Amino acid sequence: MAEQEIIKHTKKVLKVATDPRKHWKEKLGEIVLEIFIIVFAISLSLYLHERAEKREDHHLQDEFLLGLKEDLQNDITELTEDSLSYIKNEKAFRYFKQLGLDQSLPDSVPHYWTSLFNTNILIPNDSRFQGLKSAGKLYVIEDKKLLNDILDLYQEKIPALLMATHLFSDLKNNRLTPFLENNLTNTDRNNNNLKALLKASPQLRNYMSYDIFIEAILIRYHEVLDQSRLLIGEIAKEVKE
């Protein structure tokens, strides 16, 4: 509608300007009035368009943040379970390292047996964030502190965690697991020669020193958990459900 009005008044300006029956002063007054109407119509059109864009951006922001909150809650569940598994891993590796030096320790080999083989790597629910980022629409998040905290989680803390867990997984899969496969006489947790191996092999005891990597991983897990909880609180303040 605004475009039609602009065209109509532009034509009128041209008509008035070329009308030989009107004095130039009369033409000037009419032309100024028509130009004012055109400028007002353009300004109104831009204002309404900007308001519509802002409403759309605000709706997109709220929709994204509510979805992100759900993603974070799901991640927290997985992060908590994984970190508990790594705590057990850390205890296991320290126990096995000490067992290689002191075989009189209580027999906890069956309890910690699976810690020698299993690995946990977070699969973050980040498709929603990656989608908004790829679309170039992160700007719709009006609170810049909230945006910075989201970026810190997905571009700093989670990648650091994944790097640490992949490193530990590679060490396990490429060094510890092949050693055990080549030297264990039995993979039964209740009937194996692990104690003898730990006592006889400095190499295996050295692999048990991977507990230092697990400690670093747990620090990363706690950082991601803390940041995720922080974001859930910030989202609750930003979006009124």
**Residue range 209-233: mean pLDDT, rounded:** 95
Q: What is the pLDDT of residue 220?
A: 97
159 has pLDDT over 50? yes
Q: At what angle do helices 127-134 and 24-99 cross, to 10 degrees?
A: 150
- pLDDT above 90: residue 57: no
Q: Contact 105/95 with Cβ under 8 angstroms?
A: yes
Q: Judge whether residue 9 has pLDDT over 80.
A: no
Quote the CA–CA distance of 169 and 176 in Å, as a whole number: 10
8-state DSSP, 174? I
Output the pLDDT for position 33. Answer: 65
CA atoms of 13 and 8, how far apart (whole Å) = 9
User: From CA 159, how far away is CA 40, in angstroms rounded?
Assistant: 51
191 Cβ contact list (under 8 Å, min separation 6): none
Q: How high is the pLDDT of residue 27?
A: 56
What pLDDT score does 216 carry?
A: 94
Higher-confidence position of 179 and 18? 179
Report the sign of the C-alpha dihedral through residues 19, 25, 30, 33, in that order.
positive
- Residue whose token pair is 């299993």: 118
59-110 tens-digit pLDDT: 889 999 999 999 999 999 999 999 999 999 999 999 999 999 999 999 999 9
Average pLDDT over every residue of 189-203: 94
Give the chain's length.
Answer: 241
Dig out the tokens for 143 from the structure.
Answer: 């609170």
Token reading at 24: 């130039």
User: Alpha-carbon distance 53 to 21, whole Å?
Assistant: 46
- Name the least confident of 20-29, 45-54, 119-128: 20-29
Q: How confident is the model at residue 187 (pLDDT cuts 50, 70, 90)?
A: confident
Give the single-character DSSP code of 139: G
Give the span between the Cα atoms of 241 and 230, in whole angstroms.
Answer: 18
Whole-number Å distance between alpha carbons of 13 and 102: 100
Residue 235 has pLDDT above 50, yes or no: yes
**Residues of the chain with pLDDT > 90: what percent?**
70
Condensed to tens digits (0 to 9), the pLDDT of residues 37-46 reads 667 666 766 7
Whether the per-residue pLDDT at 206 is higher than 70: the answer is yes
Alpha-carbon Rg for the chain, nearest whole angstrom, is 33
pLDDT at 1 exceeding the cut of 50: no
Inter-residue contact 71 to 210 (CB < 8 Å)? no
Q: Which secondary structure element, helix H or strand E, spans residue 224, and what is its range?
A: helix 211-238
